[in-house]
Amino acid sequence: MITSGALIPDSSATYELFDRVVNTRQGFTVPFGLRGTVVGIYLAEVEVNIMYDVLFDEDFAGGIAIRYNTILFVQNILNLTLKKIIPWHHLIIR
């Protein structure tokens, strides 16, 4: 699922430390489809303001060179750990 960063790809998903995630935002510092692991969570009063520190599997321009990580909002990630099947019609942005 490709997002512009304004919508949460799976609003029913929860994220915990060490969950595997994938970047769903195009035109962003993190390449689309790059996978990584949640290594930090910065809580906020509003869900869309929660930030996730993700350690990515590969380096990319703009990531921290030592760990290849960046902090992302929930609108930019999809939890792969859940292994939940999402019907395709739920993934279409209108």
Domain of 48? 20-85
- Write the CATH number for 64: 2.30.30.750
pLDDT, residue 49, reads 87
32 falls within a domain: yes
CA distance 12 to 48: 13
93 falls within a domain: no
pLDDT in tens, 10-68: 888 889 998 999 998 888 888 999 999 998 899 999 888 889 988 888 888 877 665 55
Q: Where are the beta strands (DSSP E) in the chain?
A: 20-23, 35-42, 51-56, 69-73, 77-79
53 falls within a domain: yes
40 falls within a domain: yes
Residue type present at position 65: A
Domain count for the chain, please give it: 1
Q: Is the pTM of this model over 0.85?
A: no
27 falls within a domain: yes
